[in-house]
Amino acid sequence: MKKLFKKLFLLNLLLLIFIGCSKDDLLTENESIPEIDSVFETLKAWGFSDHEIEDMGTYYLVDKDIVFYKNKKYHKPENSNTKQREHPNSVTINSIQVFINPGMNQAWRNASVDAINRWNNASSGLLLNITTTTANAHIEIMYDSQDPALTLAANVFGMGEFPATNGLPGTRIWINPDFNACSGAITQNMRISNVQHELGHNLGLTHTNQTFGSLIPGTPSTDAQSVMNGGQACTINNFSTGDFSAVAFLFPPLTPTGSSLVCNTSTAVYTIENSNIPLTWTTSSNLQILSSSNNSITVKPVNSSFNGSGFVQANSPTQNIRKDVWIGKAVVDYIEFGNGIGETDYFCSSHYGNTYDIFPRLSGTTHQIRLRRWPSLSIVYSPSTNYSGNSGTLNYTPSPGWYVFGIRRTNPCGTSEWFETEVEFVDCSNNEGGGEF
């Protein structure tokens, strides 16, 4: 049997959503467990108990809503907790064409569009495009009655198809327009949420509340609000927080890679990996585009003496992905002073521990400080130390009076000019509560 497993590869399986009324509404229990075969053994290895596996002739019905065909082969599972799960077959493209069968009525066509929009608004690296031709469609949404090979039972709202081993999504979603098994009327939100659920199957999500599939890291251990819960066709309602995490795990958000620092006369390349989404690129006005392709851009500063912030941005049909960069040398816009007493606009000549904070906050910089006496401007303190970070403590106390405090910063592009600001040293020893002298 083990040898056999090794030779086999995964095939699709179909997954049914039944309504979650009561178990008795579903299929009758089959008391007799069938002969042991490889599919049955795999199901047992997944942790399903005998009473959860019903022999339906050509297939096993497991956990009331998953079909395992006896003539297909399935991989073994890895775990058995309850949380968002992924099918062993991953979708490896992230720009996917969806055909909405025009023979469906307006309500179902609109529901399909809205479900697609919910997926596109999930802030993942996935783009679902609506296509008007089946020729280039990866997924088709249709009524079961539009597929001569299939009829959904009256208590089945819809059915999806898991991804194939070729990295493409499941090809069809079947909708049952005659489904009317919820306690009240079928609402438009039910239609949208159920198409959304079936899209999840076609894109590689299994049921959150069932045991089939691999656990997705970073999702909650239980999730009653998951749109991917099985058997809840009448109550599922849009993505949960855990669902968003699961979608982002399967389709990581697009992120431009490349340096966050561009020196004045240098070029920099930014790339978005592993994406077939059509992208256009823009930049802040202080960067010019030297060349670009769909997934990459090369830029350089417009002005070789400019120091400051900028950005590069990849624009997809549904979102703009921006990366902030620093151009040129580090600058000092302003400094805030502290003296351990509470006031922030003067230093204390009576104690160490006067502090300063440099703005803007920049990573990867060092700085030097110096102090000049007012009004002679002679240097009274000028340590050679390169301090790291955006703040520091001044361990030097001159006599009270006015001084000029200077800072210059260094980053890999070079060292800035001195930035200077006036500061008064005050004898704080008799005024620990702070205040002006």
Assigned token pair, 133: 């031709």
Find all residues with CB under 8 Å of 403, minimum gap 6, and list them.
371, 372, 373, 374, 380, 422, 423, 424, 425
- DSSP single-letter state for residue 115: H
Nearest CB to Zn ion, comparing residues 66 and 330: 66
Concatenate the DSSP letters of all residues of 167-203 into one string.
SPPPSEEEE-TT---SSSPPPHHHHHHHHHHHHHHHH
Binding track, positions 229-268, relative to Zn ion; x by CB under 5 A: -x--------------------------------------
Nearest CB to Zn ion, comparing residues 208 and 313: 208
Stretch near Zn ion under the rule CB under 5 A, chosen from 14-22, 48-56, 76-84, 106-114: 14-22
**Stretch 194-233 residues interacting with Zn ion (CB under 5 A):** 230
CB of 126 to Zn ion, least distance (A): 19
How far is it between the farthest Cα atoms of the chain? 101
Nearest CB to Zn ion, comparing residues 39 and 159: 159
**Stretch 382-411 residues interacting with Zn ion (CB under 5 A):** none
- CA 283 to each of CA 254, 286, 337, 364: distance values in angstroms, whole numbers, following the listed order: 17, 8, 35, 23
Nearest CB to Zn ion, comparing residues 16 and 394: 16
* Closest residue to bound Zn ion by CB: 17
Nearest CB to Zn ion, comparing residues 11 and 67: 67
Q: Supply the angle between the helices 106-120 and 188-203 in degrees, to the nearest 10.
A: 50
CB of 236 to Zn ion, least distance (A): 9
| Per rule CB under 5 A, count of chain residues that contact Zn ion | 2
User: Closest Cα to residue 361, out of 400, 341, 382, 391?
Assistant: 391
CB of 119 to Zn ion, least distance (A): 15
Beta strands at 85-86 and 14-18: parallel, antiparallel or unpaired: unpaired
Radius of gyration of the chain (CA): 32
Nearest CB to Zn ion, comparing residues 143 and 405: 143
By CB under 5 A, tell whether 17 contacts Zn ion. yes
**Stretch 34-53 residues interacting with Zn ion (CB under 5 A):** none
Tell me the C-alpha distance between 243 and 249, whole Å: 10
CB of 356 to Zn ion, least distance (A): 59
Single-letter residue type at 219: T
CB of 46 to Zn ion, least distance (A): 17
Q: Under the rule (CB under 5 A), what is the footprint of Zn ion? A: 17, 230
